[in-house]
């Protein structure tokens, strides 16, 4: 190992690679057309494609044509997707979604209609990355975030396959677009879809952190899913979405106002998902599984890790017998929390608490609450005294580790 690599290992003990490797990845993946923050290599761990309606229908198996999702307009004039007779996002009631439905996407800060937004998403995805200083991005669904809410498991699986085919064949163009596979909530089917998507180029898998349709993914029957993912070196990315019908025991069901439901759903569902994965021994059983938590903020993590550690220390050992390490040690070994709000209170302190590890940058582009194309510049402007090595870890290297990116 050369001296630079040795320095990296000593400075960041959880670093997966040598200094030479990180520099080679940056050189290989860097966008030659990026307009801002050219001195930094940046991986955005949460970008959203705004899918046209055909994303769920173009590659849908013929047998499900009668059940295909449809674009409709609700009685308030908002565009929504109808699946199984339900409107998405949910237009009213407890755990309600956005009043504007699929509309009001803001790739460059100004609101676009649904039609304009999905056209923009297809046409300007590279240009907007260059304008925002992003070299490579991990792409999540938008409409597809509601596929796990589908009750008919056969249809849920078919919609996931159709969406995966669409994003692989019709959206991804070039190496800088890293995509997440959508999987069904039946473990044995999930295994097969993960294998199929890996062959098509997917580098990771996304899931909702909620208990969807009573499925608890930290149970033993899901071990087969985590095993195939670690065999294929694919990371697991969690992403919440407000406005569902079958996110059972969901925190946002306390409220029938969207803004309140949205405030609590993302961090609270992520926190309970993280606690389940650690507390039920998933990370103990699968020490190579890498997990990223996206669009939930970051500063709640130290508190919950403190609380988990405190309870493991204070409760009888029989309750926590499956854990060989402290919960915070599992997190630091296998998890990355992805910040998407540059102005989040105590963000700099959280970066320092983690020693610049276990945290990555996201934009949530192009949703209403995203940092849009200006996120990288905002992080530079708000934290001008962040050490260069910390910024490197935050902007790209922690995600390079989690996704095992190669030159």
- 345 domain-assigned: yes
Q: Residue 3 above 80 pLDDT? A: no
Q: What is the domain-level CATH number for residue 139? A: 3.20.20.140
Model confidence band, residue 310 (pLDDT cutoffs 50, 70, 90): very high
- The domain total for the chain is 1
3-state SS of the chain is: CCHHHHHHHHHCCCCCCCHHHHHHHHHHHCCCCCCCCCCCCCEEEEEECCCCHHHHCCCCCHHHHHHCCEEEECCCCCEEEEECCEEECCCCCCCCCCCCCCCCECCCCCCECHHHHHHHHHHCHHHHHHHHCCCEEEEECCHHHHHHHCCCHHHHHHHHHHHHHHHHHHHCCCCCEEEEEECCCCHHHHHHHHHHHHHHCCCEEEECCCEECCECCCCHHHHHHHHHHHHCCCEEEECCCCCCCCEECCHHHHCCCHHHHHHHHHHHHHHHHHHHHHHCCHHHHCCCCCEEEECCCCCHHHHHHHHHHHHHHHCCHHHHCCCCCCHHHHHHHHEEEEECCCCCCCHHHHHHHCCCCCEEECCCECCCCCCHHHHHHHHHHHCCCCCHHHHHHHHHHHHHHHHCCCC
Model confidence band, residue 7 (pLDDT cutoffs 50, 70, 90): low
Give the pLDDT of residue 251: 94
- 88 domain-assigned: no
Q: Residue 218 above 90 pLDDT? A: yes
Give the pLDDT of residue 340: 85
- 96 domain-assigned: no
pTM of the model: 0.95
- 86 domain-assigned: no
230-285: pLDDT as tens digits: 999 999 999 999 999 999 899 999 999 999 999 999 999 999 999 999 999 999 99
Domain of residue 9: give its range. 3-68+114-403
Q: Share the mean pLDDT of the chain.
A: 95
Give the pLDDT of residue 125: 95
67-126: pLDDT as tens digits: 999 999 999 999 999 999 999 999 999 999 999 999 999 999 999 999 999 999 999 999
Q: Residue 2 above 70 pLDDT? A: no
Averaged pLDDT, 333-348? 94
Give the pLDDT of residue 9: 61
- 97 domain-assigned: no
Give the pLDDT of residue 6: 52
Model confidence band, residue 1 (pLDDT cutoffs 50, 70, 90): very low
């Amino acid at each position: 190992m050369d001296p630079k690599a040795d320095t990296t290992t000593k400075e960041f003990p959880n670093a997966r690679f040598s200094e030479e490797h990180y520099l080679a990845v940056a050189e290989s993946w860097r966008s030659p057309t990026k307009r801002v923050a050219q001195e930094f290599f940046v991986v955005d761990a949460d970008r959203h494609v705004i899918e046209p309606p055909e994303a769920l229908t173009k590659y849908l198996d013929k047998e499900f044509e009668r059940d295909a999702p449809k674009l409709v307009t609700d009685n308030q004039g908002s565009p929504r997707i109808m699946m199984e007779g339900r409107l998405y996002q949910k237009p009213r009631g407890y755990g309600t979604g956005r009043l504007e439905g699929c509309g009001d996407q803001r790739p460059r800060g100004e609101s676009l209609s649904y039609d304009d937004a999905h056209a923009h998403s297809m046409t300007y995805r590279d240009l907007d990355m260059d304008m925002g200083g992003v070299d490579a991005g991990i792409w999540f669904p938008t409409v597809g975030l509601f596929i796990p809410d589908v009750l008919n498991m056969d249809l849920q699986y078919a919609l996931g396959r159709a969406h995966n085919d669409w994003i692989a064949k019709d959206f991804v163009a070039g190496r800088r677009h890293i995509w997440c596979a959508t999987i069904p909530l039946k473990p044995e089917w999930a295994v097969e879809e993960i294998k199929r998507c890996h062959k098509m180029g997917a580098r990771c898998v996304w899931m909702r952190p909620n208990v969807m349709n009573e499925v608890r993914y930290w149970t033993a029957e899901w071990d087969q899913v985590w095993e195939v993912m670690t065999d294929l070196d694919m990371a697991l990315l969690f992403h919440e979405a407000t406005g569902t019908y079958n996110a059972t025991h969901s925190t946002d069901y306390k409220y029938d106002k969207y803004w309140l439901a949205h405030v609590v759903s993302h961090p609270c569902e992520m926190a309970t998902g993280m606690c389940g994965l650690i507390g039920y021994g998933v990370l103990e059983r699968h020490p190579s599984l890498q997990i990223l938590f996206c669009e939930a903020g970051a500063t709640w993590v130290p508190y919950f890790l403190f609380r988990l550690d405190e309870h493991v220390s204070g409760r009888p050992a029989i309750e926590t017998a499956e854990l060989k390490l402290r919960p915070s040690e599992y997190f630091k070994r296998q998890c990355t929390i992805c910040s998407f709000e540059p102005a989040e209170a105590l963000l700099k302190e959280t970066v320092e608490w983690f020693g610049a590890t276990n945290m990555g940058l996201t934009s949530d582009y192009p949703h209403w609450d995203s940092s849009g194309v200006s996120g990288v510049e905002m992080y530079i402007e708000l934290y001008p005294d962040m050490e260069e090595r910390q910024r490197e870890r935050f902007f790209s290297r922690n995600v390079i580790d989690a996704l095992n990116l190669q030159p």
